[in-house]
Chain A
Amino acid sequence: MANAQDLAVREKKELVTKEEKTVPGRYYVPYADIFETDDALTVVMEVPGVEKKNLDVSLENYVLRIDGKIDFAKYDGMEPLYTEYNIGHYTRSFTVSNKVDQEHISAQLDDGVLTLTLPKAKEAQPRRIAIG
């Protein structure tokens, strides 16, 4: 399993939706790792170029939605000579079950990696049953 995830150059996944956005521009789907432990569900997403102030995480109707905008004004005055990848805003949504304690979701953004911790509601945590 480790070999399948070795470093390789991949094209960014472009977002394809039925509805268009009013402002033109390509949106990309950030790569995410999702794993679950006994007390929380964690989503780790790569959103390079997104600053804290341009990141929007919301949970509504059991849909967790992440929107990260990049600041392309930094490219002002720069002329491209050679490119291997494209840049754009990021967006991705996941449906979460009612096992998630929606009040205590926490988000951390470091070096372009967003870590979202969704703690499981108390009722959903595994309970050890003592054998009498």
Chain B
Amino acid sequence: MALFPDPFDTLLNLQQALDSFRSSNWLGSGPSGGGAYPPMNVFHRGDDFIIITELPGLKKSDLDVQVKGNSVRVAGTKGVSFPDKAAVHRRERLAGRFDRAVTLPVQIDPNGVKAEYRDGILALFLPRAEQDKPRSIQVA
């Protein structure tokens, strides 16, 4: 109904949109990886796909991203360290090894995959394979 989107509730709209895709079964689990960590969000922009994950505190050398066929694997070690003589008041952050593989129901072009890690967010840009792009059909 509104002609212009209200900038003040765009965040809430985005949050509600993300919530509504929680029960989607678009993504399958991959053949090789184990575990459900890290949680991923999958988006599409035009024909291409983007996977976004939150992995704060990682060093690029601790992160391993692999693509094979239509599976994507994200593995690494998330570390949390305390100085030796510290009295810990609160411990809420998690640490350990993670290794997760997911399968997409579309074909992606492995040569065009780009991975970016900034501010603790890992973004994987997965372009769709040419042969898998939908073709428009002319309606006579």
Chain B residues with CB below 8 A from A49, complex form: 54, 119-121
Q: Which residues in A have their C-beta under 8 angstroms from that of B20?
A: 80
B27: A residues at CB distance < 8 A: 81-82
- CA gap between A26 and B35 in the complex, in Å: 28
Question: Can you give 21 contacting A-B residue pairs, CB < 8 Å?
Answer: A5-B96, A7-B78, A24-B8, A24-B11, A25-B11, A31-B92, A32-B90, A34-B88, A37-B83, A37-B85, A37-B86, A44-B80, A46-B120, A48-B54, A49-B54, A75-B43, A80-B21, A81-B21, A86-B19, A87-B15, A110-B57
Which bracket fits the contact residues of A?
35 or more
B37 & A111 in contact (Cβ 8 Å cutoff): no
Residue numbers in A under 8 Å from B58 (CB-CB): 111
Complex contacts, A1 vs chain B, CB 8 Å: 91
- Which A residues touch B68, using CB under 8 A? none
Q: For the complex, is B45 an interface residue (Cβ under 8 Å from A)?
A: yes
Q: How far is the CA of A44 from the CA of B83 in the complex (A)?
A: 12
Chain B residues with a Cβ under 8 A of chain A: 8-12, 14-15, 17-22, 24-27, 35-45, 49-50, 54-59, 78, 80, 82-83, 85-98, 117, 119-121
Is A23 in contact with chain B by the CB < 8 A criterion? yes
Question: Which residue of the partner chain, among A6, A26, A86, A88, contacts B94 with CB atoms under 8 Å?
Answer: A6
A130 at interface (Cβ–Cβ under 8 A)?
no
Contact between A83 and B21, CB atoms less than 8 A apart: yes
4 smallest A-B Cβ distances: which pairs?
A112-B120, A48-B120, A112-B56, A84-B39
Residues of chain B within 8 A (CB-CB) of A83 are 18-19, 21-22, 24, 41-42
A116 at the interface (CB under 8 A from B): no
> Shortest beta-carbon distance, B33 to chain A, in Å?
13
Does the CB pair A50–B119 fall under 8 Å? yes
Point out the residue from B45, B56, B85, B87 that lies within 8 Å of A46, measured CB to CB. B56
A57 is an interface residue with CB less than 8 A from chain B: no
Tell me whether A82 and B15 are in contact in the complex, defined as CB-CB below 8 angstroms, given that A6-B94, A48-B119 are known contacts: no
Q: How far is the CB of A46 from chain B (nearest CB, A)?
A: 4
Q: Are B93 and A33 in contact (CB under 8 A)?
A: yes
Q: How far is the CB of A31 from chain B (nearest CB, A)?
A: 4
Q: Which of A74-117 contact B (CB under 8 A)?
A: 75, 77-89, 110-113
